A = this chain, B = another copy of it.
Amino acid sequence: MKHLNILLFNGFTTLDALGPAEVFSQLGDRIRIGYFSMAGGPVRGTANLEIFTRPIEEIEQYDMLLVPGGFGTRQLVDNADFVKMLKMAAGRSEKVLCVCTGSALLARTGLLDGKEATSNKLAWDWVIRQSQSVIWKRNARWVVDGKFYTSSGVTAGIDQALGFLADTIGSNVAEKVAAGLEYVWNRDKNRDLFAYQNNRNSS
């Protein structure tokens, strides 16, 4: 059984985390999903949602790490303790999936240096300022480079999660999960319908 460890923080975008979580959840007993944060305890996301988390030290198996984005990332990129903790967790994990501005956090760890990555288009200018060593790819629904998956904004995380299942288990499984969620999967990771968008103060 594989573990999907979701790393939350105050000000995360709820759907960044729970869209992919629902995708993985469709695998049933093959997956165990857990919610973690730096210190544990309740963490608040968008949509007035509070999720109870365990401290990051309690991760049992470093299989997949999911890092959502959100307004909370704006402070966290400058939080040395958080960045150090993320570097440890992402470094140990077999695979890392960032959604939206989650890639800005990962960029600050240095683990994306020399690698391709993408992020939310409405926060693009801010994201790419977080590291000049990342090869930022603006026109992509999601990007895969080695063990790192990074997606565009919010719902691109659902497409990326399905892409991850296709890459790691098989495209038939991804198609079945998408159909089960009655989700019109945007299969092509290089096709980005939102790359045109201008920056604004978005999450």
Task: Tell me the A residues contacting B by CB distance below 8 Å.
Answer: 13-15, 18-19, 21-22, 24-25, 32-35, 46-52, 120-122, 152-156, 158, 179-184, 186, 193-194, 197, 202
- Among B14, B50, B154, which residue has its beta carbon within 8 angstroms of that of A21? B14
Check A46 against B19 for contact (C-beta < 8 Å). Answer: no
- Report how far A156 CA is from B155 CA in the complex, Å: 13
B154 touches A22 (CB 8 A): yes
A100 to chain B, nearest CB (A): 8
Which chain B positions have C-beta within 8 A of A122? 180
Assuming the contacts A14-B22, A18-B18, A25-B14, asked whether A154 and B179 have C-beta atoms less than 8 A apart, the reply is no
Q: Which residues of B contact A183 (CB under 8 A)?
A: 154-155
- CA separation between A199 and B14, bound complex, in Å? 30
Partner of A15, one of B18, B49, B156: B18
